[in-house]
Amino acid sequence: GNSVTQMEGPVTLSEEAFLTINCTYTATGYPSLFWYVQYPGEGLQLLLKATKADDKGSNKGFEATYRKETTSFHLEKGSVQVSDSAVYFCALSDLTDRGSTLGRLYFGRGTQLTVWP
Amino acid sequence: KAGVTQTPRYLIKTRGQQVTLSCSPISGHRSVSWYQQTPGQGLQFLFEYFSETQRNKGNFPGRFSGRQFSNSRSEMNVSTLELGDSALYLCASSASGPGGEPRGYFGPGTRLTVT
């Protein structure tokens, strides 16, 4: 079946530190991979995505590369800011028809990131 | 362009009651998905609708049901509420059609508390 495992938090960093949040997945077929971010009291916001192997998703200084050989999609940022403090979720979609809807998303448990000034 | 709207934002119900939550997707989006978020179970898929048809359903009991209207607005209903139904219920809408990339736009959620 499909599942996502991401590193347990919480993660606490100083401003400008390097961030890595590990994410590995198990899937049948060729899933799309996502990172979502959730700020306190809000819903989920799509941070970045990758739809095939070796794709690199990037947004707001965050990056993640779809590694099929290691079934991973680790999130990285070179220099975090206080405003990056949030919960980060790795997810995969089991959708095979890319021209259609979102499909069912399988989420990891989330990683709480706190950045101190 | 307005985002996904969910109403109400907060709700308190008593065990045994039923509740209906509403989701209005982004204009032009025909697909709506629902997720339950709890500290214990994390984010779990409830169901997905496309053009008024349920396309996929998660592993929830029959007390959880949903529907989608012709204007793409969706409602989910939970009957005979249990304490464990207390959660944040998130709705996502997505675009459809050939060539469209899969991308979910989530609403702010409805916080349901069952007492």
The tens digit of pLDDT for each residue in A69-79 reads: 999 999 999 99
- Choose among B6, B58, B102: nearest Cβ to A95: B102
Whether residue B84 is predicted with pLDDT greater than 80 in this model: the reply is: yes
Q: What is the mean pLDDT of residues B14-35?
A: 95
- Put simply, the chain B residues between 79 and 108 with a CB less than 8 A from any chain A CB are 90, 92, 94, 96-108
Residue B32 DSSP SS3: strand
Give the model's pLDDT for residue B97: 46
Whether residue B1 is predicted with pLDDT greater than 70 in this model: the reply is: no
| Residue B19: strand pairing partners | B78
Q: Which residues from A are below 8 Å from B36, CB to CB? A: none
- Closest-approach residue (CA) in chain B for A3: B44
Whether residue B100 is predicted with pLDDT greater than 70 in this model: the reply is: no
Give the model's pLDDT for residue A4: 96
| Residue A116: strand pairing partners | A14
Q: Which residues from A are below 8 Å from B50, CB to CB? A: 100-101
Residue B42 and residue A109: Cβ atoms within 8 Å? Answer: yes
Whether residue B102 is predicted with pLDDT greater than 60 in this model: the reply is: yes
The model's confidence at residue B99, banded by pLDDT at 50, 70 and 90, is low
- List the structure tokens of A95: 């959708």
Q: Does B51 touch chain A (CB under 8 A)?
A: no
Q: Which residues contact B80 (CB under 8 A, 6 or more apart)?
A: B16, B18, B63
Q: Which residues from B are below 8 Å from A49, CB to CB? A: 101, 103
The residue type found at B98 is P
Alpha carbon distance B75, B24 (integer Å)? 9
Burial of A37 (0-12, 13-18, 19+ CB in 10 A): buried
Alpha carbon distance B33, B45 (integer Å)? 8
In the block, residue with structure tokens 């993660």: A11
Please give, rounded to a whole number of angstroms, the shortest distance from the CA of B80 to a CA of chain A.
26
Neighbours of A4 (CB within 10 A): 23
Give the model's pLDDT for residue A30: 81
Residue A49 and residue B103: Cβ atoms within 8 Å? Answer: yes
Give the model's pLDDT for residue A59: 95
Whether residue B95 is predicted with pLDDT greater than 80 in this model: the reply is: no
Residues of chain A with pLDDT under 50: none
C-beta of residue B85 within 8 angstroms of C-beta of residue B112: yes
More confident call, B20 vs B3: B20
- Closest-approach residue (CA) in chain A for B88: A43
Give the model's pLDDT for residue A94: 76
Please give, rounded to a whole number of angstroms, the shortest distance from the CA of A80 to a CA of chain B.
24
How many residues in chain A? 117
Residue A29 DSSP SS3: coil
| Omega before B8 within 30 of 0, i.e. cis | yes
Give the model's pLDDT for residue B101: 61
| φ/ψ bin of B74: left (φ > 0), alpha (ψ from -120 to 50), beta (otherwise) | beta
Angle at A43 between CA A42 and CA A44, to 5 degrees: 125
Residue B48 and residue A99: Cβ atoms within 8 Å? Answer: no
